[in-house]
Amino acid sequence: MVPPVRQPRLFIFYTFRIRAGFMSKQSSSGNCLVMSAELGSYFYQRRVGDLIRKIRRKEKWPLWDKQVILIPVCGSSHWFLIAILNPRRVLEPPSGDNPLRTRCCTLVFDSLGIPRPDISAEVNRYLEERARMENLEFLSATYTVDVMVPLQPNGHDCGIFTIFYATTVMFAFDWVMQMIAQQPDRTADITVKAGHLSNWGKVGDIIQIRQHLLDTLETSMRKPVERPADDGDDSDIEVSELYPTGSIPAVKRGQVAPTHPFNTVDNPIVIDDD
């Protein structure tokens, strides 16, 4: 499968939405909820009970009305992504049909290719505890998929790959689900795996996201600063473009937005409930 055309400007827009979700309580857009990294740490540290108690003390965070919940997790200095699909389906009896279409799914996106059964178990526990807290009946356990994704070629780009996975889910949910349905077994020949992973694009393009984010942040940090002119006349004001810290702006590198392996749409997350 060859992905459609790219729209890098929208990719950057959603990238910063994802980053905002990493650093704030939560970021919600339509049917997608991005949990903060702080909340994600509860799953890694197996502190779901503490997370539930935190929810009890504060306003309840959205859950059952969302189709996709993205959870960035940092554990042992490594970032990875958990996506919960259709959490409300844990309140329905299990079906014998295709679990990707009929059950609540936990998708694991890890740039080191590490399975996360412990995190998946904590996600299931979280949903079960939320249901109990809200006097709902938990009827069906989650179904876990370790998604076969491009892997980082170094020891420091896990965060960039996590952002890439998250924007991929937000941009092209149907495309991601097709990739999951078609992914080969982990025991498959390496050539077969490489052919499947090529659908996601080039690893080198993903790595470029780091530099583009740095360049974009440099540009956004520049702002007009008013300073008194050298002659001491306060009525004569010159405007210079400086960082908020007063340092000299760095030279633009002329980077272009990295490509992304699919088309973007106005309503990026559409889930087939058939």
pLDDT of 146? 93
Q: What is the mean predicted confidence (pLDDT) over 25-38? A: 68
Residue 95 has pLDDT above 50, yes or no: yes
Q: How far is CA 180 from CA 62, 101, 169, in A?
A: 26, 12, 12
User: Residue 22 falls within a domain, yes or no?
Assistant: yes
**85-89, 122-126, 209-213, 218-222: segment of lowest average pLDDT:** 218-222
243 inside domain: no
- Please give the distance of CA 135 from its chain centroid, rounded to a whole number: 30
**Interval 2-9 mean pLDDT:** 39
Query: What are 120's two structure tokens?
Result: 């998946």
Q: Give the pLDDT score at 223.
A: 56
Q: How far is CA 271 from CA 47, 86, 101, 129, 169, in A?
A: 30, 9, 9, 25, 11
Task: Give the domain extent around 79.
Answer: 8-225
Whole-number pLDDT of residue 106: 94
Q: Which carries the bigger pLDDT value, residue 38 or residue 229?
A: 38
pLDDT for 183-217, tens place per residue? 888 778 888 888 888 888 888 888 888 887 777 77
pLDDT on residue 202: 82
| Residue 189 three-state SS | coil
- Average per-residue pLDDT in the chain? 74
Output the six-digit token pair for 173.
Answer: 């949910």
Place of tokens 């309140």: 91
What's the token pair of residue 30? Answer: 């339509």
Cβ atoms of 129 and 182 within 8 Å: the answer is no
Q: In this structure, what is the dihedral angle of CA atoms 110, 115, 117, 120, given to the nearest 10 degrees?
A: 20
> In this predicted structure, what is the pLDDT of residue 250?
43
**Is residue 8's pLDDT more than 70?**
no
pLDDT of residue 172: 79
Residue range 132-157, pLDDT digits in tens: 988 999 999 999 999 999 999 988 88
Is-above-0.85 flag for pTM? no
Contact 153, 112 (CB under 8 A): no
| DSSP label at residue 145 | E
Q: Is residue 181 part of a domain?
A: yes
Q: Which has the higher per-residue pLDDT, 194 or 16? A: 194
Interstrand relation of 32-35 and 105-109 (parallel, antiparallel or unpaired): unpaired
Question: So what's the pLDDT on residue 108?
Answer: 94
pLDDT for 91: 94
Say if 29 falls within a structural domain: yes
Q: For 259, what's the count of Cα atoms within 13 Å in the CB-facing half-sphere?
A: 12
Domain count for the chain:
1
In a domain, 266, yes or no: no
Alpha helices in the chain (DSSP H): 8-23, 37-44, 48-57, 99-102, 117-133, 158-171, 173-182, 190-197, 203-221
**Residue 45 lies inside a defined structural domain of this protein:** yes
102 in a structural domain: yes
| CA-closest candidate to residue 61, choices 81, 87, 79 | 87
Per-residue pLDDT at 245: 41
pLDDT of residue 89: 94
In DSSP terms, 79 is beta-bridged to 74
CATH code assigned at 206: 3.30.310.130
Please report whether residue 274 resides in a domain. Answer: no
Question: Residue 30 has what pLDDT?
Answer: 55
Task: Say how far apart CA 230 and CA 139 lie, in whole Å.
Answer: 74
Give the lowest-confidence range in 25-39, 68-82, 93-107, 193-207.
25-39
Statement: residue 40 has pLDDT above 80: yes
Please choose, from the candidates 70, 76, 88, 84, the residue with its C-alpha nearest in 3D space to the C-alpha of residue 18.
70
Question: Partners of 69 in the beta sheet?
Answer: 33, 84
Q: What is the mean pLDDT of residues 260-265?
A: 47
pLDDT score recorded for residue 249:
41
